[in-house]
Chain A
Amino acid sequence: MDRRNFLKNTALASGAFLIPSFLKPLEAMAMGSISGYKNLVIIQLSGGNDGLNTIIPYGNDIYYQKRKTIAINKPDIIKLNEMQGLNPNLSALKDIYDQGWMSIINSVGYPNPDRSHFRSMDIWQTGSEANQFLTTGWIGRYLDSNCQSCKNPYTAVEVDDTLSLAMKGEKMKGIAVQDPNKLYQTTREPFFKDLVHDHGDTNLNEDNLGYLYKTMIETYSSANYIQKTSKTYNVTCEYPLTGLGNQLKTVSKFINSGLQTRVYYVSLSGFDTHVGQQNQQGRQLKIYGDAVAAFMYDLKQSGKLDDTLVMTFSEFGRRVEQNASNGTDHGTANNILLFGGKLKKAGIYNDAPDLAQLDNGDLKYAVDFRDVYATLLDKWLDVNNSQVLGKGFKGLDVI
């Protein structure tokens, strides 16, 4: 059955679009198969997080030479090995690391790096080359790849009011849900409901009007499904009262209620630390570390930790040498942090960044970010990475 007939036969012809019958086969799935449902949670740190003051190469003297006033004092650093340690504001992650639930990939980047926020974020979100402009995001193309679980917009959920480019494919797009109840309420507008309910089949053509109506119908059934499903579960664990804490709490609610979602997307901004970096970045890192730790404990308790993988990235790292305003300027390669109960290589995945061999004062990348994406696509989301990334990437041996 093609997509169009599928919609017609279910949402419209039955007239019962509020309980879309296409959900039934999923509901009928044995609990066993649902518990094997793996989730990817992406956390975007916007503004260019300074990776060198996040996972600190304290064992390298160059770090202290180049950062006279903003280096973190050795005694304060939470040491992970002889070379690298955590920013003290990430203290909550120490136990997570010790449990083997955290993996650090150093020096991730791409050739000919761009130092503009929006361009580099574009590159990360679309998975493009530095000189290539893609109009679809990498998660969006995963949705387009026709994978078995990619039938509905809620296969990819962004906990926000608007949808990021990363989540937009050519044919399929994820859905933005900050608050399931609020989304549900907007779809209760009687006039809209009437349009969705009663409009004729002719409007479901392949033209743009058909596309608009299809999107509207999918939003309706998705909003209903997300609201009805997620309200069956109450998160009992404590989360910090921060934006990110709330977002991850919502993700936990979605995961634990059995929502058929494969990818969740959340973001935290405030990392563009040109001035007075220590305080500003410290605050943001604390928000980040505390929220992630709470999320991991929560998932452990509900038995979902092994089925969940968290990836944190930022559009670029910052320059090795600090600037004159106790801050750092836009740089290049950066670390990616992974969390989950089933990491193949927990701990520090590869060598700490090389601070001696720089490219114009910037770190050289050692791992292409698309090799990280490829790993997630191949080993976690069960789709061949070349279908999403254009050319095939080898991937890493980390999960």
Chain B
Amino acid sequence: MDNVKQIKHLYARAGFGLRFEDRASAGNLSVKQAVASLFNSSENNEPITSVQGNTDYAMLVKGDKGAKKQFLQQQRQEEKELNEAWMNRMSTTDAVLREKMTLFWHNHFACRTKDSLFAQQLNNIQRSHALGNFRDLLLEVSKSPAMLQFLNNQQNHKGRPNENFARELMELFTIGRGNYTEQDVKESARAFTGWGFSKTGEFIMRPFLHDAWQKTFMGKTGNLTGEDIINRLLEQKQTARFISTKLYKYLVNETPNLAHVTAMANVFYHNNYEIKPLLDYVFTSPWFYDEQNIGNLVKAPVEFLVGLNRQFYITYQRPEVQLQIQKALGQVLFYPPNVAGWPCGRNWIDSSSLMFRLKIPSTLLNGGLIDFNGKADPEEEAYIATIRNQQQFVNAKVQTQPDWPRYLKNIPKNASKTDIAQFMLEPKLSNTLINNINSATDIKAMVVELVSTPEYQLA
């Protein structure tokens, strides 16, 4: 039983939660075996290919009113489909660790672009290197049209440097604030002059725009190139510390433990920024399973939604429903608020977002009805009656299809209500909750209650 607790915690953090279905196969593994199996299932590195053609941008400039309108429509459609494709990938894939880390890099290298092809390209870079080498990842991200465009490196020319990319590279992507000087920003911006992209979305180095003169960056002098700057940044151990801290907050605890983070940084640095050994170290460290690290991370809206989709095998007749939920909860994929990414943790929760989050599971699973069997005040009877009447209507509106039979079939035969509840929620059960579920009429009603709790917001 104890091992299930650990495996469940591992899946909550390295993936999007453990399903009853996975419990049968993973529940009896040792932690080491389970981690190995997570890496195994994530070997598969399949790119997302929802955006096909190259949108003809010439139409936006040359086209008439009708052509422009059509262009904008197509652009929006591609955006929607890309969002949907990634949501579906996360909700159905076996490569959960890869997707979970892609989501991490998506937020670390936060970027917005109106060109969905560029967005998809960057997403696939983050996916293919999600568990690979950080240097390769950083270099490819830096050379991606999406990022070059977003951070204005296309306009970074010899004699007229644009410092946007150089600054964010240090502040947000590698060593963090306070570890570089304004002079470092200026000199490195010169090193990146000429980095740009072609119309077809390929990186190009434009020598005639590149400043090939001598630069001094972090104590190194020479005719430095962009690659030299990136290498110099990776030589600083601070980069390993910076990334480790951020990863610790994502996978372990919002409050970094200095000893643990230092140990992670050592592993990362000595393995030449290979991501896999770092993750392996975290997931197999005893401290990862300490009580204070369990059930205390606020799920990001996308993690929350994907977790529900996976646990209940939800399919959507109207894909825009998932987009609406992302909007209401404040996290639309491919639309981070700025280059610093989404502020996580408690920032996800305010009065309105919390009420949405408590209400969304019952809306997707049961037409908005939480079948509560406790005592109701007379004034609540009217409310209950209304909700019951609306159930069909809500169902018709959201058109989601959870696979209840599949979910129920996988629950172990001898599991008590409390066992089921403890499996579904990461934090410890409170007495109120135990009382509530014990009075629930059936398993389905109880499960809808469980996912409509503050506890369910935590991983």
Contact = CB atoms under 8 A, between A and B. Distances in A.
A146 interface: no
Contact of A122 (B330, B338, B354, B433): B338
Interface residues of B, number: 50
B135 interface: no
A194 B436 contact: yes
A161 B328 contact: yes
B298 A208 contact: yes
A208 B372 contact: no
A396 B449 CA distance: 54
A386 interface: no
B351 A213 contact: no
B298 A222 contact: no
A209 B427 contact: yes
B443 interface: no
A187 B352 contact: no
Contacts of A199: 430, 432-433
A174 to B, nearest CB: 8
B328 A162 contact: yes
A340 to B, nearest CB: 28
B383 A188 contact: yes
Contact of B351 (A188, A200, A222): A222
A176 B352 contact: yes
A186 interface: yes
Contacts of B327: 162
B452 interface: yes
B457 interface: yes
Nearest to A324: B61
A176 B112 contact: no
B458 A185 contact: no
A162 B324 CA distance: 12
A183 B167 CA distance: 43
A27 B454 CA distance: 31
A200 B350 CA distance: 22
B388 interface: no
A219 B355 contact: yes
Interface stretch (B75-83, B198-206, B220-228, B339-347): B339-347
A162 B353 contact: yes
A208 B354 contact: no
B359 A165 contact: no
Given A161-B328, A173-B351, A212-B354, A186 B359 contact: yes
A390 interface: no
A208 B253 CA distance: 11
B384 interface: yes
Interface in A102-161: 118-119, 122, 131, 133, 135, 153, 161
A189 B432 contact: no
B47 interface: no
A81 B449 CA distance: 64
B247 interface: no
B455 A118 contact: no
Contacts of A5: none
Contacts of A187: 355
A200 B354 contact: no
Contact of B372 (A174, A186, A190): A190
Interface string B352-384: 111100110000000000101010110110011
B332 to A, nearest CB: 11
B430 A211 contact: no
Contact of B383 (A153, A189, A207, A222): A189
A215 B354 contact: yes
A202 interface: yes
B432 A191 contact: no
Interface string A34-68: 00000000000000000000000000000000000
B354 A176 contact: no
Contacts of B380: 188, 190, 193
A218 interface: yes
B395 interface: no
B305 interface: no
B383 A218 contact: no
Contacts of B337: 118, 122, 165
B209 interface: no
Contacts of A213: 454
A346 interface: no
A209 B454 contact: yes
A219 to B, nearest CB: 4
26 contacts: A118-B112, A161-B328, A162-B327, A162-B330, A162-B353, A163-B351, A163-B352, A174-B350, A175-B350, A176-B350, A176-B351, A188-B383, A189-B358, A189-B359, A190-B380, A190-B383, A194-B436, A198-B432, A202-B430, A203-B430, A203-B454, A208-B254, A209-B455, A215-B349, A219-B351, A219-B354
Please provide the 4 A-B residue pairs with the shortest distance between their CB atoms, ordered closest to farther.
A135-B343, A212-B454, A133-B340, A191-B372
Interface of B: 112, 167, 254, 295-298, 327-328, 330, 337-340, 343, 345-347, 349-355, 358-359, 370, 372, 374, 376-377, 379-380, 383-384, 427, 430-433, 435-436, 449, 452-455, 457-458
Given A133-B340, A192-B358, 9 more contacts: A161-B352, A163-B350, A183-B355, A190-B372, A192-B452, A212-B298, A212-B454, A213-B454, A216-B358
